[in-house]
Amino acid sequence: MILLTGATGKIGRELIKHLLDAGKKITAVTRDPKSAQLPTGVQIVAEDPSRAGALKGKFKGVEAIVLNPAAMENTVSEVVSLAHAEGVRRAVLISAITVEYGGGYQRFAQRFKAIEDTVKASGLEWTFLRAADFAANSMIWAPQIRATGVVRGAYGKAMTAPIHHRDIAAMAAQSLLHDGHAFKAYAITGPQSLSQFDRARIIGEAIKRPIHFEEISPEQARASMLAQGAPPEIPDRMLGYLSACLEAPGPLTPTVRNVLGRSPLEFSQWAIENLHAFAA
């Protein structure tokens, strides 16, 4: 049995597919089981993993746990302690590439580093997936693109190697289903270093409509994201990282290819899969 936090997010849903295909039993933790719409056969735990004590007694028969800090806030330490005490052997953590390479506001890298250190000290075997910025971050442009065909954003020349969430899920599945991944930290990126201008152009190619990137100040970009309902942490993380990648390109690693034996998915693939969100 494998227990997933963040089970209803994009990474979690893709990981569930891999694990079911491999014949694994799955326990999915979700705050809202009525809207989870998870596949038949997935055992659902209706709990909020960010609430203290929520997962106590939930690890019977569980051999491994997938930790998504986005779903857990400040309870990682408690969860891994409970997991170890209740017989769980392994943990796979979705972490951030800034732990290894730096970039962006230091407080975010420090937060992920502290979570990694907590997992290391838990007594569990661990694997860390230090992901680059997500291709899906560009979804925040969708309202602008539908309305005007123009992306107004900051740090247009910043170069990063965005990773598709399906590659993160595939790396998690590989780490859970095969030997040789315990006590390893993987820095994972997409296959290309792209500017914000490149991303806008690629989305335009997917929807067969020219999309232009218009440079605005970081303050204006932050205000726009907040106006869309993004919590303050989101623009701070995104813009802080882009600012650092304007000075020096973000890392581009061969890890996905080396571990999975195939190229990581290109940003154009993500754009094609999500063209409905950008089409007017």
pLDDT the model gives residue 197:
97
Which residue, among 203, 194, 174, has the nearest Cα to 252 in the 3D structure?
194
Q: Where are the domains of the chain?
A: 2-134+162-188, 135-160+191-250+266-278
Same fold: 2-134+162-188 with 135-160+191-250+266-278: no
Q: How wide is the angle at C-alpha 65 spanned by C-alphas 77 and 10, nearest 5°? A: 105
DSSP-assigned letter for residue 187: E
276 token code pair? 């409905």
Residues 6+ apart with CB under 8 A from 265: 164, 166, 167, 190, 191
> For each of the chain's 280 residues, which pLDDT tens digit applies?
999 999 999 999 999 999 999 999 999 999 888 888 999 889 999 999 888 888 999 999 999 999 999 888 789 999 999 999 999 999 999 999 999 999 888 889 999 999 999 999 999 999 999 999 999 999 999 999 999 999 999 999 999 999 999 999 999 999 999 999 999 999 999 999 999 999 999 999 999 999 999 999 999 999 999 998 888 888 899 999 999 999 899 999 999 999 999 999 999 999 999 999 999 7
DSSP-assigned letter for residue 263: P
Q: Is 183 left (phi over 0), alpha (psi -120 to 50) or beta?
A: left
Q: Are 161 and 252 in contact (CB under 8 A)?
A: yes
Q: Which fold has domain 2-134+162-188?
A: Rossmann fold (3.40.50)
260 token code pair? 């999975």
pLDDT the model gives residue 33:
86
pLDDT the model gives residue 129:
98
Pick 135-160+191-250+266-278's CATH classification: 3.90.25.10, 3.40.50.920, 3.40.50.620, 3.40.50.2000: 3.90.25.10
Name the residue type at position 226: L
